[in-house]
Each structure stands twice: as structure tokens, then as C-alpha cells.
Amino acid sequence: MQSAKRIEQEARAKAGNVSDEELALIRKAEETHRLSEAELTQLLGSDAAEEALAAAADRVRHRYVGDGVHLRGLIEFSSICRQNCMYCGLRRDNKKAERYRLDADTIVELARKAKGYGYPTVVLQSGEDLFFDTDRLCAVIRRIKAFDLAITLSIGERSREEYAAFREAGADRYLLRIETTDEPLYERMDPGMSWSNRDRCLRDLRELGYEVGTGTLVGLPGQTIPMIARDILYYQKMDADMIGVGPFIPNPDTPIGGEPGGDFHLTRRLVSLLRLLLPEANIPATTAMETMVAMGREIVLSSGANVVMPNVTEGDYRRKYALYPGKICVADTPADCRHCMGGRIAAMGRFVAEDKGFRHHRGAAERNIEEGARA
């Protein structure tokens, strides 16, 4: 793991070389929230532009979504998965993965405790575990809604009918990373899955009235910077409410465990460009960023992000929910993580937001003025 100081020193040393052309692009992004694929590719690939990008993204973050950091309590309720993603430790062919499934009472109890820690939202995350059919999961959702919590689901691909049932039961948001918008790469990395079905899921979720979160896995073998630029334009086009991105961390228990991992700096520039192009979106500082660099979440929170998802899973289940090695907080309790993040956010001069943290929508009037100005 690298230290935050070293990361900052490296980035500052390179910042001296940023060209006037790149500074002009960053200014354009900050003012218009628009860049072309070629312009995004140039900035994503520029080490020299990283600090200026982060500073612009931090200003836009402050202006559009404020200084509050939204905490979402993450409940990892099942490590059983029917899929076989090449990068993930929970893939069905990984015989070394330790599988568990929490029962409904335990999940509800974790949500009740999350409420007690002051989290206004819980994220129910699992592998693609079909044991949780609509009846079982809707019952859990209804019981958790009684605590007046916002509920985010992150359980993978389901039918439109199932998504409709979860929404009806009270689910507010859904996280489903597209991982990559490059269809052939997606289908190589997620054998047996289709890119068009994933895209269909995202469109169904949006039409059903969920706040929709998606994102990129950075550094997949064969992924290029122009592909990542196109990911950003895809998120802009679908008007994503949330975008969570993180570096690929090779897992030795998977077929691509020997490949190089994703780059922290490239992922940081991606976060900054996401903030510049989708100024109102909720953007988390992800756990994978901190797995690569100590204080990685602070760095990302200062580079455009405004959300953190502390773990509220208890005991040994944290360790068993192993997408990649080196996961942080596996020996910590939910209370540890709550205090840890509260202190760290305050130390940055930010504050823990107390509302449910739905996506900020500018008023229609404001949007009209802007559209009028553009016309």
C-alpha cells in the first residue's frame, strides 16, 4: 500500500507540467460540464493534469452538492453468487470462497443497528443469490422500511418484474455497475452474461423510479482509456444518479489474478471528470481506493466525491465477503467504522450529512435559464 503523502507528492511534482491546453479543457469542463470523447481521453491519460482536475472537481462538488458527506451503511448479506465474473472472488467457480447467507432476522437487525449509528441509508449487497426471491427479499425490505431508512439494493441482474416488486416494497435506489461500456470486453470479463441485458437492467430500474447507481471497474485487462472516456459519456447520457468507480484489484483465486491491477491515479482522474461532467451526481469514495492507498478515501473525497459506504456487516462475514484481497476494515466493528469515518470527515473540514442524501436536482427554473442561455 502506498501512503497518501507519497501520492500527493507524486501528483504535485507532475502538476508543474500541465499544459495550457489541458488547463483550458478543465476550465471548459468546470463551466459547461461537457467534453468530447477525445478531450476526456486526453485528460484521463494526463498525469500532469491530475491536481488541476481534482481542484476543479472539488469546487464543482462544493457548488452543486455542498460539503456534506453522505454515509451509507453497507450490509453484505450473502456471499453466494451464480455468476462467474473473471475478476471477482465470489465467482461461482471459486471453491476457496467461504460462502454464507444471513437470515432475514439478522439482516433486519443489522439495519436497525445501522439506524442506531445514524446512517440514514442502508445498502443491501450480495452476490447474485436467487435464494432471495421476491417474496423473501420484499419481506426484508418492508421490515427495514419500518425504521425510516432509505434502502439501496445491490444484488445484480433480475427481471423487470422483480425490480418492480422490490421498488413496490420500498427500495429507493439500486446499484449495478456496468463495469465497462465496451461490449466485447464486458462479455470476456463476465462470461455467460450479456452487455445488452445489463444495459436493459439499468433502463428498467430508471423507468421504475429508482435512483440508479452504476460505475466502472478501472484496469480490466484489455480496457483502454478511450473506453473509459466512453463510460463517462454513457453515464452522462443515462443521467446516472450515482457513479461508483474503483480500481481492479487482482484476486489470486480468479482466472485473471495474475494480471496487473487498476491504477489509483487514473481512477482518481476518472472521479474528478465524473464530478465535472455530472455535477449533481452522488459519487462515492470507494473501499477499493483505500485498499490501494492509505487515506485513499480522503484523497477521493477531495477530488470530487461526496459519499462513503462504511461497512455495517458484523464479525467474520466481513472477511468472507472477499471480492478482492486486502479489503480494509475486516477486523473492525461497525462502531469502529462509524467513529473512524466521522472523525476523518470532520478533520477534512467537511461534515456528515444527516438527510437521506437523495440526488440533488436543480430546480426546473434554474435548468431553463441555463438551457435558454445555451440556445
Residue numbers of the site for ligand FES (CB under 6 A)? Answer: 310, 329, 332, 336-337, 340-341
- Residue with smaller CB distance to ligand 5AD, 198 or 275: 198
Least distance in angstroms from the C-beta of 336 to ligand 5AD = 22
Strands 307-308 and 217-218: unpaired
97 binds ligand SF4 (CB under 6 A): no
Candidates 4-12, 196-204, 241-249, 265-273; binding stretch for ligand 5AD (CB under 6 A): 241-249
Instruction: Identify the three-state secondary structure at position 273.
Output: helix
Gap between the Cα atoms of 361 and 60, Å rounded: 14
d(CA 372, CA 375): 5
Q: Which of 246, 296, 304, 334 binds ligand 5AD (CB under 6 A)?
A: 246
Helices 264-277, 50-65: inter-axial angle, 10-degree rounding: 40
Q: Which one, 107 or 329, has the nearer CB to ligand FES?
A: 329
Please, which of residues 272-301 interact with ligand 5AD by CB under 6 A? 288
Instruction: Pick from 323, 329, 341, 345 the residue near ligand 5AD by CB under 6 A.
Output: 323
Task: Please report whether residue 324 would count as binding ligand 5AD according to CB under 6 A.
Answer: yes
Task: Please tell me whether residue 175 binds ligand SF4 under the rule CB under 6 A.
Answer: no
265 burial via Cβ count (<10 Å: 0-12, 13-18, 19+): middle
Neighbours of 183 (CB within 10 A): 13
Smallest distance from the beta carbon of 88 to ligand SF4, in angstroms? 3
Mask 163-202, x = binds ligand 5AD (CB under 6 A)?
--------------x-x-----------------------
In the region spanning residues 93 to 112, those forming contacts with ligand 5AD, defined by CB under 6 A, are none
Say whether residue 178 binds ligand SF4 (CB under 6 A): no
CB-nearer residue toward ligand FES: 122 or 169: 122
Q: State the amino acid at position 374 in one-letter form.
A: R
44-61 as b/e: b if 16+ CB within 10 A: bebbbbbbbbbbbbbebb
Residue recorded with cell 437492467? 201
CB of 129 to ligand SF4, least distance (A): 9
Joined grid coordinates for residue 33: 460540464
Residue 288: contacted member of ligand FES, ligand 5AD, ligand SF4, none (CB under 5 to 8 Å, by partner type):
ligand 5AD
Q: If contact means CB under 5 to 8 A according to the sort of partner, which of ligand 5AD, ligand SF4, ligand FES, none does residue 324 touch?
A: ligand 5AD
- Which of ligand 5AD, ligand SF4, ligand FES, none has residue 199 at its interface (CB below 5 to 8 Å by kind)? none
In angstroms, rounded to a whole number, what is the distance separating the alpha carbons of residues 142 and 145? Answer: 5
Q: Given the complex with ligand 5AD, which of 18 and 218 has the nearer CB atom?
A: 218
Which does residue 289 touch among ligand 5AD, ligand FES, ligand SF4, none (CB within 5 to 8 A, set by kind)? none
Four-residue CA torsion sign, 325, 331, 335, 336:
negative
Give the distance from CA 179 to its chain's centroid: 11
Q: 2-27: string of b/e by CB count within 10 Å (b at 16+)?
A: eeeeebeeebeebbeebeeebeebbe
User: Using an 8 Å Cβ cutoff, are 246 and 289 in contact?
Assistant: yes
If one asks whether residue 288 binds ligand SF4 (CB under 6 A), the answer comes out as no
Tell me how far, at minimum, the Cβ of 16 lies from ligand FES, in Å: 33
Residue 88 is a binding residue for ligand SF4 (CB under 6 A): yes
Distance CA 190, CA 170 (A): 30
Fill in the amino acid letter for 128. Answer: E
CB 44 within 8 A of CB 270: yes
Decide: is 267 part of the binding site for ligand 5AD (CB under 6 A).
no
Contact status: 217 vs ligand 5AD (CB under 6 A): yes
| 106 scored as a contact of ligand SF4 (CB under 6 A) | no
Q: Which residues bind ligand 5AD (CB under 6 A)?
A: 87-88, 177, 179, 217, 246, 248-249, 251, 288, 323-324
